[in-house]
């Protein structure tokens, strides 16, 4: 991806997003680029996925639903009840159709940025994490520790974010998407297996 293409996409986001969302978009793109440097992921891919991750966020619920219906994108029961959840799915569709992104890792990073999924690539993890820790985010608990951990251990950071998100959703009585819990369980089990292997004397 040429830097002129990235500038074009940045300007497009400035047009389709309100000011606060655009500031968040820039924060995610640059935070993702920093994490890409740390974890040796392509910096251009991180910037592109960061810029586009919320490209469908400012569409109305009706528009998100009608785009899904028009293009045969399935809507789950929980998405129908919480159409805001659809912005990742619709965003990954628009990234392909409207912004002509062909790199499937970038598309998956957009698609999975809200709930995560088991077995994420490093780029997917980076966008998921950058979305939560970018400098403009202020309200989440434990941000200081999560930001520090992001530059030490990506899987541990996923667990911290997913744990806090699940707790927040439960507390607020907001229905939980099955994938959010599945992702949390997957990374908790993965950590358990890794710790089991590292334990002294374990065989």
Any contact of residue 131 with ligand DGI (CB under 6 A)?
yes
User: Which one, 41 or 49, has the nearer CB to Fe ion?
Assistant: 49
CA-based nearest residue to 130, from 40, 56, 19, 53:
53
Any contact of residue 134 with Fe ion (CB under 5 A)?
no
* Cβ at position 133, least distance to Fe ion in Å: 11
What whole-number distance in Å separates Cα of residue 169 and Cα of residue 88?
18
Q: Judging by beta carbons within 10 Å of its beta carbon (0-12, 13-18, 19+), is residue 31 exposed, middle or buried?
A: buried
User: In this structure, what are the phi and psi dihedrals at residue 6, rounded to the nearest 5 degrees?
Assistant: -60, -40
* Cβ at position 4, least distance to ligand DGI in Å: 26
Q: Which of 76, 82, 103, 121 binds ligand DGI (CB under 6 A)?
A: 82
User: Which one, 113 or 125, has the nearer CB to ligand DGI?
Assistant: 113
Any contact of residue 79 with Fe ion (CB under 5 A)?
no
What whole-number distance in Å separates Cα of residue 46 and Cα of residue 30?
8
What whole-number distance in Å separates Cα of residue 142 and Cα of residue 6?
32
Q: Which residues here bind ligand DGI, judged by CB under 6 A?
A: 24, 54, 57, 82, 85, 113-115, 131, 165, 169, 174-177, 180
């Amino acid at each position: 991806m040429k830097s002129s293409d990235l500038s074009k996409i940045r300007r497009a986001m400035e047009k389709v997003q309100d000011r606060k969302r655009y500031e968040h978009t820039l924060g995610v793109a640059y935070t993702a680029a920093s994490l890409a440097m740390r974890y040796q992921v392509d910096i251009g891919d991180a910037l592109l996925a960061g810029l586009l991750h919320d490209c469908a966020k400012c569409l109305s619920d009706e528009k998100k639903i009608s785009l899904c219906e028009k293009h045969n994108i399935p809507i789950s029961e929980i998405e129908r009840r919480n159409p805001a959840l659809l912005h990742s799915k619709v965003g990954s569709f628009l990234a392909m159709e409207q912004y002509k992104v062909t790199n499937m890792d970038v598309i998956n990073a957009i698609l999975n940025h809200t709930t995560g999924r088991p077995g994420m690539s490093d780029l997917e993890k980076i966008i998921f994490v950058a979305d939560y820790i970018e400098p403009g985010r202020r309200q989440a608990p434990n941000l200081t520790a999560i930001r520090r951990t992001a530059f030490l251990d990506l899987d541990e950071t996923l667990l911290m974010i997913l744990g806090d998100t699940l707790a927040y959703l439960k507390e607020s009585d907001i229905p939980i998407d099955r994938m959010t819990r599945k992702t949390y369980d997957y990374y908790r089990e993965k950590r358990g297996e890794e710790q089991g292997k590292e334990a002294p004397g374990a065989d």
